[in-house]
C-alpha cells in the first residue's frame, strides 16, 4: 500500500499524522511518500519519519520527493496538507497569538476508487 502525503513539510503536523497512521497494524507495512516544495523541510520530516519507523521496528518504507506527480503515482491514499501563506504565515501569526482561517491547516484524505470490473 502506498500513502502519499502532499505538503508534508510541517514537522509537527506531519509527524503526528504519521504516528497515527503507523499505529494501525494494517498500515504498518505501507510505503509513505512525503512530498513538499521546500526541500529543506522535506529533508527534516523525512529524517523524523525514518527515525520513527526505525525506533518502532516497523516494516514501513519512507520516501521523499519534491515532485508531486511522482508522489501521487500509484498512491492508494493521498493526504493533502496545505497551509495558506506557508510556514512564514504561521510564524508571523504565532507572534500575535492570532489564529485565522488564512493559516489553518486543512488536511484531507482521498481514497482512490477501485477499478471497475471488466465486463
Buried b (16+ CB within 10 A) or exposed e, 63-84: ebbeeeeebbeebebbbebebe
Per-residue model confidence as pLDDT tens digits over 41-79:
999 999 999 999 999 999 999 999 999 999 999 999 999
Give the pLDDT mean for 36-45: 93
Q: pLDDT grade, residue 82 (50/70/90)?
A: confident
Indicate the length of the chain as a whole number.
Answer: 119
- What is the pTM assigned to this prediction? 0.72
- pLDDT at res. 10: 80
Topology of the domain covering 2-111: Rossmann fold (3.40.50)
- List pLDDT tens digits, range 97-111: 444 444 444 455 555
DSSP 19-75: HHHHTSGGGTT-EEEEE-S-HHHHHHHHHHHHHHHHHTT---EEEEES-HHHHHTT-
In this prediction, residue 13 has a pLDDT band, given cuts at 50, 70 and 90, of confident
Is the pLDDT assigned to residue 5 strictly greater than 90? yes
Of the pLDDT bands very low, low, confident and very high (cuts 50, 70, 90), residue 11 is confident
Amino acid at each position: 500500500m502506498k500513502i502519499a502525503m502532499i505538503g508534508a513539510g510541517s514537522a509537527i503536523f506531519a509527524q503526528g499524522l504519521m504516528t497515527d497512521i503507523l499505529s494501525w497494524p494494517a498500515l504498518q507495512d505501507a510505503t509513505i511518500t512525503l512530498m513538499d516544495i521546500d526541500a529543506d523541510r522535506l529533508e527534516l520530516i523525512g529524517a523524523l519519519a525514518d527515525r520513527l519507523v526505525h525506533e518502532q521496528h516497523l516494516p514501513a518504507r519512507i520516501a521523499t520527493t519534491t515532485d508531486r506527480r511522482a508522489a501521487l503515482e500509484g498512491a492508494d491514499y493521498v493526504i493533502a496538507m496545505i497551509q495558506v501563506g506557508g510556514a512564514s504565515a504561521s510564524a508571523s501569526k504565532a507572534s500575535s497569538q492570532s489564529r485565522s482561517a488564512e493559516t489553518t491547516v486543512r488536511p484531507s484524505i482521498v481514497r482512490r476508487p477501485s477499478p471497475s470490473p471488466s465486463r
